[in-house]
Amino acid sequence: MEKLKLSDYFSEIYELNEYPRFKVFIDGKWVKTKDTFDLISSIDESKIAEVGAVSKEDLDLAVNSADANKHKIRDMSAIDRLELINQVRKEIENHREEIVNVLMRESGKAYDSANGEINATIERLRLSMEDSRKIMGEYIPGDWSSDTTRKMALVIREPLGVVLGISPFNYPVYTSMAKILPALLSGNSVIIKPPSSDPLALLMCAEIFRKIGLPAGTLQVITGSGSVAGDYLIENNRINMISFTGSTTVGKHISEVAGLKKIHLELGGKGTAIILEDADLDLAAKECVKGSFELAGQRCDAISRVLVPEQIADKFYKKIEEHLNDYKFGNPLDGNKINMGPVINKKAAERIDLMVKDAVKKGAKCAAGGKFNNSYYEPTLLEDVPLTAEIANEETFGPVITVIKVKDVDEAIKIANESKYGLDSAVFTNDFYNGWRIMKALQVGNVTLNGAPSHGTAYFPFGGVKDSGAGKEGVGYSIEEMTNIKTIIFNLGAKNLGKQYSGQFKD
Q: Are residues 7 and 196 in contact, defined by beta-carbon separation less than 8 angstroms?
A: no
Please list, residue by residue across 386-422, b when 16 or more beta carbons sit within 10 angstroms of its beta carbon and e when fewer do: eeebebbbbbbbbbbbbbbbbeebeebbebbeebebb
Three-state SS string over 113-148 comes to HHHHHHHHHHHHHHCHHHHHHHHCCEEEEHHHCHHH
Cβ neighbour number for residue 357 with a 10 Å cutoff: 15
Three-state SS string over 449-460 comes to ECCCCCCCCCCC
Give which of 192, 234, 185 is closest to 86, Cα–Cα.
185
Checking DSSP bridges between strand 29-31 and strand 151-159, what pairing results, if any? unpaired
Tell me the sheet residues that pair with 30: 25
Alpha-carbon distances, residue 168 vs 10, 192, 243, 491 (angstroms):
23, 11, 11, 49
Please list, residue by residue across 181-216, b when 16 or more beta carbons sit within 10 angstroms of its beta carbon and e when fewer do: bbbbbbbbbbbbbbbbbbbbbbbbbbbbbbebebbe
- The sheet that has 303-309: what strands, in order across it? 365-368, 380-383, 400-406, 303-309, 271-275, 424-428, 446-449
The number of C-alpha atoms within 13 Å of 65 and in the hemisphere containing its C-beta is: 21
CA dihedral 407, 283, 342, 374 (to 10 degrees): 40
Single-letter residue type at 421:
Y
The whole-angstrom separation of Cα 42 and Cα 96 is 22
Q: Are residues 306 and 353 in contact, defined by beta-carbon separation less than 8 angstroms?
A: no
Q: What is the DSSP string of 363-395?
A: T-EEEE---EETTEE--EEEES--TTSGGGTS-
> Which residues are known to be catalytic?
266, 300
Q: Are residues 334 and 389 in contact, defined by beta-carbon separation less than 8 angstroms?
A: no
Q: Are residues 368 and 324 in contact, defined by beta-carbon separation less than 8 angstroms?
A: yes
Give which of 79, 34, 72 is closest to 53, Cα–Cα.
34
Q: Are residues 470 and 261 in contact, defined by beta-carbon separation less than 8 angstroms?
A: no
What element of type H or E holds 214?
Answer: none
